[in-house]
Structure 1
Amino acid sequence: MFNYLITLAILFVVSTKYCFCMDSQSLNNSFVSGFSPAVATWYGSPNGAGSGGACGFANDVANPPYNGLISAGNQNIFKHGQGCGNCYQVKCTENPACSGFPIVVTVTDECPGTCNNEAFHFDLSGKAFGYLAKLGQADKLRNAGRINIQYQRVPCKYNTGITFKIDTGSNANYLAFSIEFVGGDGDIGSVELLPSKPKGSLYMQKSWGCTWKVGIPVGTNGPYSVKLTTIESRSTIIATNAIPGNWSPGKYYHSAANFS
């Protein structure tokens, strides 16, 4: 009995020191090891980059760091816009043209309608779909049209900082921007705009996709820092002075900050 109590005491000290504990968020974290079954189709031109439409990324998906390796998703993936920016490894093995090697795609659009007939449906760009094939067999795999795949959620990794694309409808009293190239979770749960004057936070509202908006009170000036909190892990980062005081609609502003 004495040895048993000693063992319990040691376990308590070790677990307290190293915090072998998980909160409910950690227990429900989507980054689970191992692949699960899904369905994949493709859209657009055979070597096309796809679309960033429903997430607000527009034609940016064709350029680095997305490079056309993107996917639309049904509601279990798109999540009414909350899934925008999430990254997944996908691979195929059942078709003879499949390479079996996984690629990483970013969710940038919604696949509505019949895509929701399956639990998880990835509608890949033509380019991404072809990347699932063995060398020289991309067209053969695309000719299949619809294939079974395996997928798993993975952290996003970009060799660039988070970027803010100012909405063309923004003005001196209203600021909206889409948020791109988010590392780690890839998604954004809340956004605070931090003006240089006066000090304090302006809490932004999600407009649609990855676009956030806020009214600008009179006398509020930039440069603006942006505080971002992710959905999955509730990680927080501040992109310091990311948006200059003389910002312009339609412009891109690149920060040095990103989630690992």
Structure 2
Amino acid sequence: MAKPSTLMLGALVVLILLVSPIDCSRNLRKNKAKTVGHKKAPAAKVSHRPVPAARNHRNHTATPSVAYGSWLSGAGATYYGTPNGDGSDGGACGYQTAVGKQPFDSMIAAGSTPLYRGGEGCGACFEVKCTSNAACSGRPATIVITDQSPGGLFPGEVAHFDMSGTAMGAMAKPGMADKLRAGGVLRIQYRRVPCKYPGVNVAFKVDQGANPFYFDVLIEFEDDDGDLNAVELMEAGCSTWMPMSHNWGAMWRLNNGRKLNAPFALRLTSDSGRLLVANNAIPAGWKPGKTYRSLVNYP
């Protein structure tokens, strides 16, 4: 029978392992082929230069899920919320009140399933225009997917944009926005375009429910593709990237069963496979609910 002192010592060791960060250097020797060089940088500085181990990851996907190119037809459009409003506070993407502020500026839409893509379409930008109503200007307006369109498609549609009142009115001739909004379900043309947020960089908003054992973050304002296919996290003192799981909307999480050691670097893979590395994007002593802004964005 084990002595009481031996049992107490064993329990103490288990407790320490549960509550303390694991020294990831112990795993580096086993995974030498997968290690990534990580040079410490000023807090929130973002680098566009992929680290060596990203070579294979660069081809995550050859083209965006909704390809750029010619105008596509067969989409429908409605609007929700107030006539000149924001639609909703972020809805199923989690952007909350940011949809009514720069750089979104209320030019947003809830996308149907092929556009929303289970939340991974959050942040993608589209040009939309209409000619099916006398109030249509025929000129394109740029919108961002920030929510999921409720219900299915209307008959004959291949995609549906449930726009804010502001975005719907942007497709109208001068002075005819109200008439266009009163037109019911419109038939529109649409095409994927790069997102452009001059002077605005990628931001990381830590979820209110995050803690040292469960990291959950909203990622917003990505230029170019606008949406993400993968996110990875690197702890302080480590040289390996840990894949994060897509939680919902534009939220990504990591909970691997142990305490995480900040500051964190984050590596983003866009819809077309482009990488963006944010070194020390989340500082030591980070707080739930706080937004940490980077210094650059996708070029």
Indicate yes or no: 2:231 matched with 1:194.
no
Q: Which amino acid aligns with 2:232?
A: E
* Greater RCO (CA < 8 Å, at least 6 residues apart): 2
CA displacement at 1:223 relative to structure 2: 2.1
Give RMSD over aligned pairs. 2.1
Specify the alignment match of 2:12 in structure 1: none
Calculate the TM-score normalised by the size of structure 1: 0.85
- Distance in 2 (CA, whole Å) between partners of 1:153 and 1:182 is 15
Deviates more, 1:101-110 or 1:117-126: 117-126
Q: Structure 2: which 5+ residue stretches go unaligned? A: 1-59
Specify the alignment match of 1:75 in structure 2: 113
Specify the alignment match of 1:99 in structure 2: 137
- Distance in 2 (CA, whole Å) between partners of 1:120 and 1:222 is 42
Specify the alignment match of 1:137 in structure 2: 176
CA displacement at 1:95 relative to structure 2: 1.1
Indicate yes or no: 2:92 matched with 1:54.
yes
Q: Is the Cα–Cα contact under 8 Å of residues 123 and 227 in structure 2 kept in the other structure? A: yes
CA displacement at 1:246 relative to structure 2: 1.4
Q: Is the Cα–Cα contact under 8 Å of residues 71 and 123 in structure 1 kept in the other structure? A: yes
- Distance in 1 (CA, whole Å) between partners of 2:191 and 2:113 is 16
Match 1:108 to one of 124, 146, 149? 146
- Structure 1 pair 219–140 and aligned structure 2 pair: CA distance change class (3 A): closer
CA displacement at 1:155 relative to structure 2: 0.9
Q: Which amino acid aligns with 1:185?
A: D
- Structure 1 pair 150–27 and aligned structure 2 pair: CA distance change class (3 A): closer
CA displacement at 1:82 relative to structure 2: 2.0
Larger CA Rg, structure 1 vs 2: 2
- Distance in 2 (CA, whole Å) between partners of 1:219 and 1:144 is 54
- Distance in 2 (CA, whole Å) between partners of 1:123 and 1:153 is 16
- Distance in 2 (CA, whole Å) between partners of 1:45 and 1:173 is 41
Specify the alignment match of 1:9 in structure 2: none
Q: Percent identity?
A: 43
Indicate yes or no: 2:265 matched with 1:225.
yes
Deviations for 1:142-179, whole angstroms, at most 9, x for unmatched residues? 11122111100111111211111111100121110111
Match 1:182 to one of 222, 228, 232? 222
CA displacement at 1:214 relative to structure 2: 0.7
Q: Structure 1: which 5+ residue stretches go unaligned? A: 1-22
Q: Is the Cα–Cα contact under 8 Å of residues 198 and 220 in structure 1 kept in the other structure? A: no
CA displacement at 1:257 relative to structure 2: 2.9
Q: Is the Cα–Cα contact under 8 Å of residues 64 and 225 in structure 2 kept in the other structure? A: no
1:1-260 map, 5 Å? 25-26=62-63, 30-51=67-88, 52-115=90-153, 117=155, 118-159=157-198, 160-215=200-255, 220-231=260-271, 233-260=272-299
- Distance in 2 (CA, whole Å) between partners of 1:181 and 1:80 is 19
Q: Is the Cα–Cα contact under 8 Å of residues 201 and 221 in structure 2 kept in the other structure? A: yes
- Distance in 2 (CA, whole Å) between partners of 1:198 and 1:236 is 19
Q: Which amino acid aligns with 2:239?
A: K
CA displacement at 1:60 relative to structure 2: 1.1
- Distance in 2 (CA, whole Å) between partners of 1:115 and 1:34 is 19
CA displacement at 1:208 relative to structure 2: 0.8
Secondary structure of the corresponding residue to residue 113 of structure 1:
coil
- Structure 1 pair 24–43 and aligned structure 2 pair: CA distance change class (3 A): closer
Deviations for 1:123-144, whole angstroms, at most 9, x for unmatched residues? 0001100111111111111111
- Structure 1 pair 26–250 and aligned structure 2 pair: CA distance change class (3 A): closer
- Distance in 1 (CA, whole Å) between partners of 2:188 and 2:234 is 43
Q: Which amino acid aligns with 1:194?
A: M
CA displacement at 1:98 relative to structure 2: 1.1
Q: Which amino acid aligns with 2:266?
A: V
Q: Is the Cα–Cα contact under 8 Å of residues 93 and 119 in structure 2 kept in the other structure? A: yes
Aligned residues: 237
Structure 1 segments of 4+ aligned residues over 4 angstroms from their partners: 26-29, 216-220
